[in-house]
């Protein structure tokens, strides 16, 4: 994608597997001859996103929106800020409690009402992938293998199916619409467990840059979470925003 993967939320914890994504795209890509390799699918995808220059052009992003999930009454709101390999995500639940998670290129952390926590379970390469603003340009670098498995139906779309294994050994399936070239969704193995997640990307809109999938749904078993983007800005962000909070620094001493 150019994708900005937001952390998945469950209870008071932020779950770190490749999570909610918002991604850039251009308008529908003309129907072409059937593709025969993963490289062709990914190249067509980059073109559908607007091309390499559009992907490289985003050096910072701020997104605001709301979140609904199984077991939560009402909607939470969020603000997500990112630069290459740096992220900060703040969620405010309907009851007013807050969850903040961040990554400063080296340390992934979470702060809730119960205190601070450093993520020592998720592979660092997986966290860096989720914070890679130019992910479509680097995607094969995160995989031991990534191959075209054929054409299949996925969530009501006829898709090119890419099947891969990440560098940290997790099964990963990607589905790209045969007609548009756009990413429809993922089916993948959680980065810290054996659970399987499905992620869907819908409702593309233009916020003054490349189009963005404004509705992102994550499902695993009977659990579901949907994030909806209401605004996106590409204004510069100072690096100081991503500095570790004192409570997190204290855990690292």
| Residue 94 belongs to domain with CATH number | 2.50.20
> How confident is the model at residue 214, as a pLDDT?
87
Whether the CB-CB separation of 59 and 184 falls below 8 Å is answered with no
Closest CA to 173 of 184, 158, 161: 161
Dig out the tokens for 29 from the structure: 């890509």
The whole-angstrom separation of Cα 94 and Cα 79 is: 15
Neighbour-count burial of 32, counting CB atoms closer than 10 A to its CB (0-12 exposed, 13-18 middle, 19+ buried): exposed
Residue 19: pLDDT over 50: no
Angle, CA of 37, 39 and 44, to the nearest 5°: 100
Closest residue by Cα to residue 76 from 89, 65, 88: 65
Nearest Cα to 159, choosing from 141, 174, 147, 144?
174
pLDDT of residue 7: 54
Phi, psi of 86 (to 5 degrees): -145, 130
What's the average model confidence in pLDDT over 61-66? 96
| Run of H or E residues at 250 | helix 246-252
At residue 32, the pLDDT reads 58
Cα–Cα distance, 181 to 132 (Å, whole number): 21
- Those residues whose C-beta lies under 8 Å from the C-beta of residue 231, and which sit 6 or more positions away, are 63, 64, 65, 207
Lowest mean pLDDT among 21-30, 202-211, 216-225: 21-30
Question: In the predicted model, what is the mean pLDDT of the chain?
Answer: 87
Task: Indicate whether 24 pLDDT > 50.
Answer: no
Looking only at the bridges linking them, the beta strands covering 196-206 and 76-83 are unpaired
pLDDT at 9 over 60: no
Answer whether residue 62 is part of any domain: yes
* Residue 188 falls inside a structural domain: no
**Is 167 inside a domain boundary?**
no
pLDDT-derived band at 5 (thresholds 50, 70, 90) equals low
Is the pLDDT confidence value at 21 over 70? no
Both tokens of 94, joined, read: 């309907």
Q: Determine what percent of the chain is predicted with pLDDT higher than 70.
A: 87
In a domain, 158, yes or no: no
Asked whether residue 94 is domain-assigned, the answer is: yes
User: What is the domain extent for residue 130?
Assistant: 3-39+49-140+199-252
* pLDDT at res. 84: 96
In a domain, 166, yes or no: no
Between strands 143-154 and 98-103, the pairing is unpaired
pLDDT at 203: 83
Tally the domains of the chain: 1
In a domain, 174, yes or no: no
pTM of the model: 0.87
Contact call for residues 6 and 80 (beta carbons, < 8 A):
yes
Instruction: Tell me which H or E stretch contains 52.
Output: helix 52-57
Q: Which residue has the tokens 């293998």?
A: 145
Q: Is residue 175 part of a domain?
A: no
Residue 178 host element (H or E): none
């Amino acid at each position: 994608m150019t994708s900005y993967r937001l952390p998945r939320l469950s209870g008071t914890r932020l779950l770190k597997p490749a999570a909610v994504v918002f991604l850039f795209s251009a308008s529908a890509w003309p129907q072409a001859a059937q593709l025969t390799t993963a490289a062709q699918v990914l190249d067509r995808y980059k073109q559908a996103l607007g091309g390499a220059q559009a992907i490289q052009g985003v050096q910072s992003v701020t997104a605001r929106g709301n979140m609904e999930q199984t077991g939560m009454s009402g909607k939470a709101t969020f603000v997500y800020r990112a630069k290459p390999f740096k992220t900060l995500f703040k969620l405010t639940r309907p009851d007013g409690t807050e969850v903040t998670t961040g990554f400063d290129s080296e340390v992934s952390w979470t702060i809730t009402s119960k205190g601070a926590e450093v993520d020592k379970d998720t592979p660092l390469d997986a966290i860096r992938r989720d914070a890679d603003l130019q992910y479509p340009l680097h995607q094969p670098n995160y995989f031991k293998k990534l191959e075209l498995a054929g054409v299949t139906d996925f969530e009501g779309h006829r898709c090119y199916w890419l099947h891969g294994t990440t560098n940290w050994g997790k099964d990963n399936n990607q589905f790209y619409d045969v007609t548009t070239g756009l990413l429809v969704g993922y089916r993948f193995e959680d980065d810290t467990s054996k659970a399987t997640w499905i992620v869907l990307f819908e409702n593309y809109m233009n916020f003054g840059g490349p189009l963005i999938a404004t509705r992102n749904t994550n499902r695993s078993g009977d659990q579901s979470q949907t994030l909806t983007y209401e605004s996106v800005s590409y204004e510069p962000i100072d690096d100081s925003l991503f500095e570790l909070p004192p409570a997190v620094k204290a855990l690292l001493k």
